[in-house]
Amino acid sequence: MPTPFNQDTHAIRRFTPAVLKWFAKHGRHDLPWQQLHKTDKDIYAVWLSEIMLQQTQVATVLGYFERFMQAFPTVQDLAVADWEAVANLWAGLGYYARARNLHAGAQQVAQFIRTHGKFPQMPDEWQAIKGVGRSTAGAIVAMGVGGRGVICDGNVKRVLTRWAGIDGDITKSATDKALWQLADTLTPARQSGEFAQAMMDLGATLCTRTRPKCEICPIAADCIAHRQGKQAAYPVKAKKSVKPTHHSQVLLITHGDLTDNDAKILWLKRPDDGIWGGLWCPPLLSITRQDTFNDGVIGEWLSDNLHSDLQRQNPPLAAIKHTLTHFHWQLSARHIALSADKFTQLKTLLADIHAEHHWQPLVNTLAKPAAMDKLLNAIA
């Protein structure tokens, strides 16, 4: 019988049992957050893991997950934690908005538990939590709560577009709607937690973006892309535009010689709502993009007070290229040594603009982006 999914009812009925059978024998069962449906701690662990796994591979997440669970073993511990402690543990994992949302979300969940006596149980309740989207909510409900939750993340979309021969652009709402409808059709009423993990594993280990292992895939017999030899054609996605490259100078501002053992540089806390939000960086003098208010004020002050071409007078001590979601960032570190009177003037300026700041050595314990560690470690 025909269906809206380019697959007949027989193929649809075969899909879920085949995937679950494969998962039981070949799936990943040793991940630390996979102790399902036993305690409230598991719901928290699944939620934490799902946030960390967004845009990040399992192998990278494992160490961060273990350290987070040791530092914040319950959602209440995370909710009351100081942001600096959270940011320090997250540093290096990237996509720092996830950490800010996780911290804010923990406070929401802790309040929900105080009100209702338990974790959120339904997908819509989880979607009300900061940083939790539709697929993440489905994963938490399925693998943490033990209810029926539907997932349709990037791995799942790749599996489904190939299997069903869905050739619409997955960035378009019509295709996205069709994929969610298919994912919902295939998700069983029971074992949705196992099915969710199975689909993630299938996409991560067999139905990979390049070189899919179709010869050992449990759904290859019904897979339209495999049958047509067009695995590389799916999923269809609009071509990304070329990322621009922005250039910024990282200003290492000191009173005295940078090589002194007790030399300290200026660190500014970045705004919560921007790139590297809530983390600490030296001031950035941006050449090709607008940066933060504090950076701009300090850059203008340096220009007005030092009366020198910073680039000409202060050659870069080190430089790196850092790639973010929407652009490449060329960062070069330059030393700015201030006289005693200029140092006093700058401290007054920092107080006037209410800039959160510290004077700390190049290598310190402040929560900072991995890119800044990489750049400054090349100097220290």
What are the b/e assignments for 67-103, b being 16+ CB within 10 Å? Answer: ebbeebeebbebbebebeebbbbbbebbebbbbbbbb
Residues 131 and 78 sit within 8 Å (Cβ to Cβ):
no
> Any long-range contacts for 319-324 (C-beta under 8 Å, 24+ apart)?
319/375, 320/371, 320/374, 320/375, 320/378, 321/245, 322/371, 322/374, 323/243, 324/275
- State how far the Cα of 212 lies from the Cα of 223, in Å rounded to an integer: 12
Residue pair 192/151 in contact (Cβ under 8 Å)? The answer is: no
The residues near 71 (Cβ < 8 Å, ≥ 6 apart) are 77, 81, 85, 89
Question: 352-372 burial string, b = 16+ CB within 10 Å, else e?
Answer: eeebebeebbbeeebbbbebb
Angle at 67 between CA 62 and CA 72, to 5 degrees: 125
Q: Kindly calculate the radius of gyration of the chain based on its CA atoms and give it in whole angstroms.
A: 25
Q: Which residues of 24-33 are buried (b: 16+ CB within 10 A; e: fewer)?
A: eeebeeebeb
Question: Cβ contacts of residue 23 below 8 Å, gap of 6+?
Answer: 194, 195, 197, 198, 201, 202
**Alpha carbon distances (Å) from 119 to 125, 141, 209, 259:** 9, 10, 35, 52
Q: Is 125 a catalytic residue?
A: no
Query: Of the listed 50, 66, 125, 194, which one is catalytic?
Result: 50
Q: Please count the residues of the chain.
A: 380
CA angle 16, 19, 21 (to 5 degrees): 105
Short-list 242, 245, 270, 271, CA closest to 332: 245
Q: Which three-class secondary structure state does DSSP give residue 30?
A: coil
Cβ atoms within 10 Å of 134's Cβ, excluding its own = 17
| Residues labelled catalytic | 50
